[in-house]
Amino acid sequence: MTAMLVNGLPSNCIHTEDRGLSYGDGVFRTLRVRQGKPLNWQRHFAKLRHDCNAMVLDCPDQDILLDEICQLSANRAEAVAKIIITRGCGKRGYAAPMTGSHTRVVNCQPLPQYPAELYVAGIQTQVCSIKLGHQSALAGIKHLNRLENVLAASECHKAGLHEGLLEDEDRAVIGGTRSNLFLVRHGTLHTPELSLCGVAGVQRERVLDWADQHATECKIRRLQITDLLAAEEVFLVNSLFGLWSIREFPGYLRTEHPVATRIRNWLDKDEV
Amino acid sequence: MTAMLVNGLPSNCIHTEDRGLSYGDGVFRTLRVRQGKPLNWQRHFAKLRHDCNAMVLDCPDQDILLDEICQLSANRAEAVAKIIITRGCGKRGYAAPMTGSHTRVVNCQPLPQYPAELYVAGIQTQVCSIKLGHQSALAGIKHLNRLENVLAASECHKAGLHEGLLEDEDRAVIGGTRSNLFLVRHGTLHTPELSLCGVAGVQRERVLDWADQHATECKIRRLQITDLLAAEEVFLVNSLFGLWSIREFPGYLRTEHPVATRIRNWLDKDEV
């Protein structure tokens, strides 16, 4: 069961003319909640505010959002909260109205139970056949236009995989279908540069902080599959599953993931 | 006032967990209705079916859609109907459910009244600053991920323009923000090739038919702004406004549009 609020009122309904439906004209965030408190809230809220600004959407007050998440997750030790902010209803036509009320949807669901094996042994994956298009005006923003992710995730789901690797149209590796990617080589971390596509998540930011605090260099740069094949470790991170090492994909097999394990332990311990 | 049906029932509400909202996971069409009868229906329905197939969505029966449009537009001589088909509600997560009910939204609104001057003199336009990304997996489909169009149309709206010209990331001209483009040179029509981005609309198809029936060659190819500057005429078409000649954009001024006028007369007369 999902508990939901729309503009602060219990509802599971948005208007059929909402621009979030018509055009995907909005942004969202998905985050973990523990005892009514969203984990890494300051980072999530900063990203939400950034994305709203980038799309010229009013960002709700953070106290309102915190209060709504707390209300909805009251009966659960652990939950997943999703926040959607859309440009609200508009007249037909693509052009965004200069003014107008926005729509705020907050919902809470049970936390998915990922098999422990995925954390112990790492995951099997593959490179998705769809390649991400470039759009610098929207890159990095967690907006509601997610058909590329839908196509990629559907392909992986059919193959029985928990995650897939996404390349862009120039065959640069961008990340997982719903996660950011890091690789370890010669004691250095590397993660894709995301100015043309992809989403820079909160967990990615936390890994960059880990590197900073542990005197480990992290290079943000163009990566290709050949870089992954040459890496000692490759891992994926997001705010829900945390960190999964990649055990295997065609041409790649790693059974030990010491650096990723240290980072995961730190991420788990340092949740605020 | 908009009259609406959701899955056949009077409603202005879709579920907050609908994948149309969450990911833009759906398709749509916008069409003119006269005396309860959608114009060029066979073409619109064929495109809807094509787009549903491309996205692995069940397409509703055309009799259901016709009946709903007729119901909603009963009191209007002229109207605009919009059909949205989404993948319905799903569990959280990008992967499309293998089965599940879809959501069908049909609404009717008054036909917008475009100033007569736009048809007589042609429109002023500009090249939009946003460039369309390439995505061959989605090109041509009228899906619900339309943020590029929103950004482009918003820019034009602020500039007081009725339409803008869209280029792709390689600076090929793709069309207007909500329309397809043609140019006339030495008695030949040219229109952009749309395999990497853009939407191939019903009105574009009708202009191709006009060319065919009037022994006029139409080349579907890569076009650039320099090709427009060298053209005798440039015009935009869509199912709502019909055909607008371009009178002016930076470096271009044409006050006579004889070919476009002949095509518009044919398009208007031949509506079925």
pLDDT in tens, B238-271: 999 999 999 999 999 999 999 999 999 999 987 7
List of chain A residues whose C-beta atoms are within 8 Å of the C-beta of residue B82? 92
Q: Residue A228 above 90 pLDDT?
A: yes
d(CA B92, CA A130): 21
CA A188/CA A175 separation, integer angstroms: 18
Q: Does residue B75 register a pLDDT over 90?
A: no
pLDDT tens profile B148-163: 999 999 999 999 999 9
Over residues A100-118, mean pLDDT: 92
Please enumerate in sequence order all residues whose Cβ is within 8 A of that of B117, keeping only pairs 6 or more positions apart, or say none.
none
* B contact residues 160-219, partner A, Cβ 8 Å cutoff: 169, 177-178, 197
Q: Do B21 and A30 touch (CB under 8 A)?
A: no
Handedness of CA B159, B164, B169, B170 (dihedral sign): negative
- pLDDT tens string A171-201: 999 999 999 999 999 999 999 999 999 999 9
Contact of B100 with B90, CB cutoff 8 Å: yes
Q: Please say if the pLDDT value at position B218 is more than 70.
A: yes
Q: What percent of chain A has pLDDT over 70?
A: 99
Return d(Cα A124, Cα A129) in angstroms, integer: 16
Paired tokens of A221:
């740069």
Tell me the whole-structure pTM to 2 decimals: 0.95
CA angle A86, B32, B76 (to 5 degrees): 95
Apex B261 CA angle, B256 and B265, nearest 5 = 165
> What is the distance between the alpha carbons of residues A66 and A72, in angstroms, rounded to a whole number?
10
Contact between B271 and B40 under an 8 Å Cβ cutoff? The reply is: yes
B94-141 pLDDT, tens digit per residue, is 998 877 679 999 999 999 999 999 999 999 999 999 999 999 999 999
What confidence tens digit (pLDDT) does each residue in B178-214 have? 999 999 999 999 999 999 999 999 999 999 999 999 9
- Mean pLDDT of all residues belonging to chain A: 95
Q: What is the largest CA-CA distance in chain A?
A: 56
Mean per-residue pLDDT of chain B: 95
Asked whether the predicted pLDDT for residue B272 surpasses 80, the reply is no
CB A81 within 8 A of CB A240: no
The verdict on a CB contact (< 8 Å) between A169 and B137 is no
Give the pLDDT band of residue B11 (cuts 50, 70, 90).
very high
Q: Rounded CA gap, A45 and A13, in Å?
A: 24
Instruction: Tell me if A66 sits within 8 A of A38, measured CB to CB.
Output: yes
For residues A52-77, give the mean pLDDT: 94
Q: Which domains, from first to last, does chain B contain?
A: 3-110 (3.30.470.10), 116-269 (3.20.10.10)
Q: Cα(A52)–Cα(A56) distance, rounded to whole angstroms?
A: 6
> Which residues in chain B are contacts of A20 at CB distance < 8 A?
21
Predicted confidence band of residue A97 (pLDDT cuts 50, 70, 90): confident
- pLDDT for B45: 98
Which tokens sit at A56? 């010229």
Contacts of B151 in chain A (CB under 8 A): 137-138
CB contact under 8 A, A150 and B21: no
Is there a contact between A4 and A107 (Cβ–Cβ < 8 Å)?
Answer: yes
Max Cα-Cα span within chain B: 56
Q: How far apart are CA B193 and CA B52, in angstroms?
A: 22
Q: What is the predicted pLDDT for the residue at A118?
A: 96
pLDDT at A91: 72
CA distance B196 to chain A (A): 10
Is residue B140 within 8 Å of residue B108, measured between CB atoms? no
- The size of the A-B interface in CB pairs under 8 A is 168
Other beta carbons within 10 Å of B81 = 23
- Beta strand A188-192 with A218-221 is parallel
Contact check, Cβ <8 Å, A146/B22 = yes
Helix A202-213 crosses helix A41-54 at what angle (to 10 degrees)? 120
CA distance A142 to chain B (A): 11
Counting Cα atoms < 13 Å in the Cβ hemisphere of A140 gives 17
CA distance B142 to B145: 9
Query: In the structure encoding, which two tokens stand for residue A236, read together?
Result: 């994926």
Give the residue from chain B lying closest to A131, CA to CA: B135
Q: Which of A14, A130, A178 sits opposite B14 (nearest CB)?
A: A14
Asked if A134 lies within 8 A of B130 by C-beta distance, the reply is no
Concatenated DSSP letters for chain A?
--EEEETTEE-SEEETTBHHHHH--EEEEEEEEETTEETTHHHHHHHHHHHHHHTT-PPPPHHHHHHHHHHHTTT-SEEEEEEEEE--B--SSSSPPSS---EEEEEEEEPP---HHHHHT-EE--EEEEEEPP-TTTTB--BS--HHHHHHHHHHHHTT-S--EEEETTS-EEEESSSEEEEEETTEEEEE--SSSSB--HHHHHHHHHHHHTT--EEEE---HHHHHT-SEEEEEETTTEEEEEEEETTEE----HHHHHHHHHHHHT--
Residues of B in contact with A17 (CB under 8 A): 2, 12, 107
- Find the closest chain A residue to B7 by CA distance: A16
**Would you say B87 and B100 are in contact if contact means Cβ atoms under 8 Å apart?**
yes
Q: Which residues of chain B neighbour A95 with C-beta distances below 8 Å?
A: 150, 153-154, 156-157
Q: State the ipTM, two decimals.
A: 0.95
What span, in angstroms and rounded, lies between the C-alpha atoms of B84 and B143? Answer: 9
Which three-class secondary structure string do you get for chain B? Answer: CCEEEECCEECCEEECCEHHHHHCCEEEEEEEEECCEECCHHHHHHHHHHHHHHCCCCCCCHHHHHHHHHHHCCCCCEEEEEEEEECCECCCCCCCCCCCCCEEEEEEEECCCCCHHHHHCCEECCEEEEEECCCCCCCECCECCCHHHHHHHHHHHHCCCCCCEEEECCCCEEEECCCEEEEEECCEEEEECCCCCCECCHHHHHHHHHHHHCCCCEEEECCCHHHHHCCCEEEEEECCCEEEEEEEECCEECCCCHHHHHHHHHHHHCCC
pLDDT at B1: 60
> Backbone phi, then psi, for A204, in 5-degree steps?
-60, -45
* Between A168 and A90, residue with greater pLDDT: A168
- Report the candidate in B165, B81, B11, B142 with the shortest Cα–Cα distance to residue A23: B142
Query: Once rounded to an integer, what is the mean pLDDT over residues A27-38?
Result: 95
Residue numbers in A near B17 (CB within 8 A): 2, 12, 107
Contact B147 A130 (CB under 8 A): no
Chain-chain contact of B134 with A169 (C-beta, under 8 angstroms): yes
